Chains A and B, each alone.
Chain A
Amino acid sequence: MAQSVAVPASIPIPLRIPLREVVPWAVFAGAILLTLLYLVGLDQGAISVFSGQLLHEFVHDGRHLLGVPCH
């Protein structure tokens, strides 16, 4: 006689993503995301890629509250 057993719904867990699949994404997306962080957090402060103060002044409150040295 067949017995019905309550099996907990468990999801088969994929082992891991091979590093060679992660590296290209990490390099290209990582570079773009770090550039974004730099523009929001640091540009027109200690160092400037874009001259002027407009970007710095626009994100001023964010920089202070995100804890980045601002001025």
Chain B
Amino acid sequence: MVVRTLLVRGMVVGVLAGLLSWLFLYFFGEPAIDGAIAFEDRLAHAASESDGVALVSRGVQSTIGLGTAVILFGVAIGGLFALAYAVAYGRIGSLSPRATAAVLAAGAFVAVVLVPFLKYPANPPASTDAGTVSQRTGLYVVLLLVSVILAASSISVGRRLHPRVGAWNAVLLAAGLYVLTTGVVLMVMPSVDETPADFPGAVLYDFRVAALGNQVVLWVAIGLLFGWLTDRSLRRTTSVETVGGQR
């Protein structure tokens, strides 16, 4: 198992996951964005403001723009996933190559996506105050980093407890530690409450379900494809070595 191979595999898998993500969001995310932009237009119309000239048309934003963004995101996440896999493999219990990929993807989804989403969920256009984007970005990035650090620390504590309490209890204690510490962080960090009172609730709900669903699609695709390819390549290398040994 070589890091370079894993990295390339992760990025290729990321492209495929990004394509799935594009397809998913085109059908399930874009309708909610259209709904939000319709609300934005009603506001602008009521204030009799002109829309101004768009730098990039909606047609480009909702197709090529969306695809470029999610595929590049997939490549980056896939590559980072591979690097994490290189460290995690053989260090989180005696999991098989496929199981390691699945467990790592599930854990990373919780730490990187779900926990930040609980406090600072995805927001459609026209549902936030453009003036506070700096604060919101700062809070989001801080929560993301804290969540990842707490997850890594909890795993490290679990590994240390393993010899004394056994695998089952070590996993439970590590998960409990993560839930407890992130729970406190989520409680302490400031809330953001700036969605306009008349923003359509159904649009907000649909948008957030689509955003979360997309991350599920992306991480499931990365975890399963990466695990499958790694397992397959290990089997091949092994059989080649066996044949070579018999000669």
Q: Which residues of A contact B (CB under 8 A)?
A: 11-17, 19, 21-22, 25-26, 29-30, 33-34, 36-37, 39-42, 45-47, 53-54, 57-71
B55 touching A61, Cβ below 8 Å:
no
Ordered by A's residue number, 6 sampled pairs between the chains whose C-beta atoms are within 8 Å are A29-B83, A30-B80, A39-B72, A64-B123, A65-B66, A66-B214
**Which of B90-98, B146-154, B175-183 has 4 or more CB atoms under 8 Å from chain A?**
B90-98
Given the known inter-chain contacts A22-B86, A62-B70, A66-B211, please indicate yes or no for A71 contacting B130, CB distance below 8 A.
yes
- How far in angstroms is the closest Cβ of chain A from B222? 13
Interface residues of B in 78-120 (CB under 8 A from A): 79-80, 83, 86-87, 89-91, 94, 96-97, 113, 116-117, 120
Which A-B residue pairs are the 9 nearest by beta carbons?
A62-B69, A16-B90, A67-B122, A46-B137, A59-B69, A57-B56, A69-B136, A46-B134, A25-B3
Complex Cα–Cα for A5 and B83 (A): 40
Given the known inter-chain contacts A22-B83, A61-B62, please indicate yes or no for A67 contacting B90, CB distance below 8 A.
no
B55 touching A54, Cβ below 8 Å:
yes
Q: Which one of B76, B116, B120, B133 contacts A33 once the chains associate, using CB atoms below 8 Å?
A: B76
Beyond known contacts A40-B73, A64-B125, A69-B136: 16 more, CB 8 A cutoff = A12-B238, A13-B97, A14-B234, A17-B1, A17-B3, A22-B3, A22-B83, A46-B133, A46-B138, A58-B65, A58-B68, A61-B25, A61-B65, A62-B70, A66-B69, A70-B133
Complex Cα–Cα for A28 and B99 (A): 27
Question: Is B227 an interface residue, CB under 8 A from the partner?
Answer: no
Residues of B within 8 A of A70 (CB): 123, 125, 128, 133
The count of residues in chain B whose C-beta lies closer than 8 Å to any C-beta of chain A is 63
Residues of B within 8 A of A39 (CB): 72
Residues of B within 8 A of A34 (CB): 76, 80
Residues of A within 8 A of B128 (CB): 69-71
Given the known inter-chain contacts A16-B89, A37-B73, please indicate yes or no for A61 contacting B33, CB distance below 8 A.
yes
Residues of B within 8 A of A57 (CB): 54-56, 61, 65
Residues of B within 8 A of A58 (CB): 56, 60-61, 65, 68-69
Question: Is B223 an interface residue, CB under 8 A from the partner?
Answer: no
- How far in angstroms is the closest Cβ of chain B from A64? 6
Complex Cα–Cα for A64 and B61 (A): 11
Question: Is B235 an interface residue, CB under 8 A from the partner?
Answer: yes
Q: Which one of B25, B68, B140, B210 contacts A68 once the chains associate, using CB atoms below 8 Å?
A: B140
